A and B are shown apart, each in its own frame.
Chain A
Amino acid sequence: MLQGINLACVRGDRELFRDVNFSLEAGGLMQVRGPNGSGKTSLLRMLCGLSNPAAGEIRWDNASIRDLDGEYYAAMTYIGHLSGTKDDLTVLENLCISSALAGFEIGIDQAKEALSRIGLRGREALPVKVLSQGQRRRVALARLLVCKTPLWILDEPLVALDVSAVKLIQELLERHLQEGGMVVMTTHQEIDITAASTTQLHLA
C-alpha cells in the first residue's frame, strides 16, 4: 500500500502544493491531474524517492520510503519524461541493461518477446538514436513487461504514442491492476482504464 501524508512541495520560493493526502491499495489506479506547473512531475519524483517532500511523509506498506531505500526501489518502476535509454545502444541492449540495473536480469529471448509485444519486432538490433519519439517511448515502456514490480509510477506514459500503442498500454495497465498491481500516473489524454479503485488527485 502506498500512502502520502500531508505532502508539501516547494520549488524555489514558490509552494506548489501542500497537505496532499492519498492512499493507494493493491489493484488501485491513481491519476494525478492538474494544469502545467502544478507540481505533477514533482509529486511523482517524490513518490519514487528521487526528491524529498518539503513536509510530510511517503509510506510503503506502513514504513517510510526513506527507511526502506533499496527494498522500496525493488518494488517500484518509474518511467519519467526522459526515456532512460542510451542512443548508442541497440534496442535489445537497452532493455537488457536497464532491466538488469533495476534488479531483473533477463535473457535475450525474454527481452525479444517483450519487444515484439510492445511492437518493436524487427527493430531489436537498431541503435535507439535512429528510432522515432514514439518508438523510443515504447523501448522505455517495454521495461514494464519484464520488471515485475507491484508499483508503477508513470509520468505522461502516453506522450508521442500512436492510437494502437495507447490501446496496448491501456491493456497492459488493466492487466497489471487486475493482478493486484498499483499504478500512479499523469496524463493529459483521456484514457479509460477499468480498475478496482480509481483515485483522482487534483493539484491546483
Chain B
Amino acid sequence: MFMWIIKRDLLLAVRRQSDVLTTLFFFIIVVSLFPLSVGPEMNMLRTMAPGVVWVAALLASMLSLGRMFSNDYLDGTLEQMLLSPQSLSLLVLGKAFAHWLVTGVPLVLMAPVLGIQYDLPVEALLVLTSALLLGTPVLSLIGAIGAALTLGLRGGGVLVSLLVLPLYIPVLIFGSGAVEANMSGVEFSAHLSLIGAFLLVTAVFAPWAAAWSLRVSLE
C-alpha cells in the first residue's frame, strides 16, 4: 500500500514533468535574485548563502504543497483513499514521501551548484546539502498538515503559507545554523542531529495529524 501510493505519485510526476521543473526553477531563480538585489560582494554573499538557500527551499517546497492533495481531491481519488482499509496515516506518509522525492530531492541536488554561485567552501557545500537532505522531508511532512487543512478552500494557497511557514522556523534556524557553524569553524553535528530529531518526530506525528485533517476536510 505504502509502495503503491509512492509508485502512483511518482508515475503522475513523470507524466507531468513540468510541475517538478517549475518548482526547481523557482528555487534557482529565487536564489539567483539575491546577488542582484544586494550586490555581488563575495564576503557578504558567503555569509548570506545558507539563509538564502534555506528560505528559497522553504518557499519552493511550500508552493508545491497545493498539489499534494488538491488534484486527488478534485478527481475523487482522495475520497477513495479515505475509504481504503489500510491506515490513512500510512498513506499520508507515503504521499509526503513521494512529495519529498519529487520536490525535495531535486532541491537538495541543486543546492551545491547554487552554493558555488555564492562561493561557499567545499566543506560548507557538503554541510548545506546534508542539512537540506535531512530538513526537506520535515518540510513535506509538516506541509502535509497545512495542505490537508486548506483542502478545497478559496485562497488555499496563500492560507497554507500562513499556517505552515511559522512551523518551518525551527528547521530553518538549525538548517542554516549548521552551515554557518561550519563556516565559522564550530562543530555542526549537533545541528544536524537536531534536524534528524525533528524528522523522526514529524514522521511519527505529522501523518497522523494530516490524516485527521483530511477526514475533517472531506466531511
Contacts and interface: CB of A to CB of B under 8 A. Distances in A.
A82 B73 CA distance: 9
B87 interface: yes
Nearest to B77: A84
Contact of B79 (A52, A82, A93): A82
B75 A102 contact: no
A88 interface: yes
A100 B80 contact: no
6 smallest beta-carbon distances between A and B, as pairs: A82-B76, A74-B85, A84-B76, A88-B15, A73-B85, A51-B219
A15 to B, nearest CB: 17
- From DSSP, what is the main secondary structure of chain A's interface residues? loop
A70 interface: yes
Using C-beta atoms within 8 Å of the partner chain, give the interface range for chain B.
20 to 34
Contacts of A200: none
Given A50-B218, A85-B75, 14 more contacts: A70-B85, A70-B87, A73-B83, A74-B85, A78-B79, A80-B79, A89-B8, A97-B8, A98-B77, A98-B80, A101-B80, A101-B86, A103-B85, A127-B15
B36 to A, nearest CB: 37
A81 B79 CA distance: 11
Interface of B: 1, 4-5, 7-8, 11-12, 15-16, 74-77, 79-87, 91, 218-219
A93 B12 CA distance: 11
B100 to A, nearest CB: 20
Nearest to B91: A101
Interface string A69-98: 011011010101111111111000100011
Interface string A31-50: 00000000000000000111
Contacts, number: 76
Given A97-B4, A101-B5, A87 B84 contact: no
A71 B83 CA distance: 10
Using C-beta atoms within 8 Å of the partner chain, give the interface range for chain A.
20 to 34
B83 A87 contact: no
A50 B82 contact: yes
B75 A88 contact: no
Interface of A: 48-52, 70-71, 73-74, 76, 78, 80-89, 93, 97-98, 100-103, 127
Contact of A93 (B11, B84, B87): B11
A73 B81 CA distance: 10
Contact of B84 (A81, A82, A102): A102
Given A51-B219, A52-B219, A86-B12, A102 B83 contact: yes
Contacts of B4: 97, 100-101
B84 A83 contact: no
Nearest to A136: B75
B61 to A, nearest CB: 22
A176 B77 CA distance: 24
